Structures are given as C-alpha cells and as structure tokens.
Amino acid sequence: MLVLILILLILVILLFLLSMLWPPDSPWSPWWRTTPTLARLECKLAKIKKGDIIYDLGSGEGTALIIAAKEFGATGVGIEIDPFRAWYAKLAVWLAGVADKVIIRRENFFTVDISKATVVFLYLTPRALVGLREKFFKELRPGTRVVTFVYQMDLPLYAKDDKAEMYVYEIPKRK
C-alpha cells in the first residue's frame, strides 16, 4: 500500500514538472495564475461594477472571478478545460460563498458562446489570443471590455498598466 502511494506521489510530481514544458494555453500548462492583488487591479482597470457579466476564458482556479463577485458585485462564468483546475475552482467558488454569482464550466472556450459577456478576462499565450480575435468580433457586443495579462491583443486599447502588464481593450462598433 505504501509503495502504491509513493508511486502515485512520484507520478503527480512528475506530471507537475512536465507541465512546465507545456504552453499556458494547453490543459497541461504550468500553474501560472493571477494573484488576488492582480485580480483586484484587473477589476479596477476594467471598471468592473455590479451588473457586469464576466467571462474568464481559461479561468484556472477562478481567483479573478471570485474577487470580481465578492468585492465588485459582478457575476461571472469561468471556462476551464483542465478538469483538475475546474474542480478546484468550483470548490474555491463555493468556499468563498459566491456560488450564486460565479459558475465554472469545464469546457473548451473556443466552443462556448460568450455573447452575454460585458467583460472578458484572459491570461493566455499570444497564439491563443490571436485565435480568439475572430470569435470576439463575431460574438461580443461593441463596448465589451477585454482584459489581457502579460500578452497583448490587436484590439483598440481602453486602459493599461504597463508595470503590471495588464491591458484593457474595447470591442469597436461594427463598420
């Protein structure tokens, strides 16, 4: 029994180390995350308020949505492909007491309808951000704010914090 537990433990550690090699837009990406302090800054920069519906694409542990719901009065939908992170986020949402405001869905964000969003949170690689641009123009209403962390998008800039590497964009009017 002890040997089995040891083997399992070694496997988990190996998987975690291996995850460092995967890009952050894959389900086996490193556990890169937005801290509560950064999540607060993200909400302030995007002017999150009561009534906002935030879609966090690749929501990880759900930290940003929990802060947005608890401290800024927003509601949110987190889309997370990694079953472990999705499960963790569901538990964190429940423990934070915001289960009536935040839903976590274990899905691929490329296949999810995001048209209800008033704000979109993203912490993804440039490759994933380029892939999402067309979807945003198809599904998001003009005026929807899109926030990226570290990597930038080819969209009209609304606000930014260079030091924190945080960028807020606004979906433009259709021509």
Ligand X SMILES: C[S@@+](CC[C@H](N)C(=O)[O-])C[C@H]1O[C@@H](n2cnc3c(N)ncnc32)[C@H](O)[C@@H]1O
Interacting residue ranges for ligand X, rule: CB under 6 A: 24-25, 27, 29, 32-34, 56, 58-61, 63-64, 79-82, 85, 108-110, 123-124
How many residues make up the chain in this entry? 175
Toward ligand X, which CB reaches closer, 79 or 171? 79
Q: How far is the CB of 1 from ligand X (least distance, A)?
A: 32
Q: How far is the CB of 105 from ligand X (least distance, A)?
A: 9
Question: Cβ atoms within 10 A of the Cβ of 17, count?
Answer: 10
Toward ligand X, which CB reaches closer, 52 or 80? 80
Q: How far is the CB of 7 from ligand X (least distance, A)?
A: 26
Toward ligand X, which CB reaches closer, 138 or 174? 138
The whole-angstrom separation of Cα 148 and Cα 167 is 5
- For residue 141, what is the DSSP state? P
Q: How far is the CB of 127 from ligand X (least distance, A)?
A: 10
The whole-angstrom separation of Cα 166 and Cα 29 is 20
Listed in sequence order, the residues at least 6 apart from 123 whose beta carbon sits closer than 8 Å to its beta carbon are 24, 32, 33, 34, 58, 60, 148, 149, 150
Toward ligand X, which CB reaches closer, 43 or 81? 81
Displacement of CA 59 from its chain's centroid (Å): 3
User: Which residue number places its CB atom closest to ligand X?
Assistant: 58
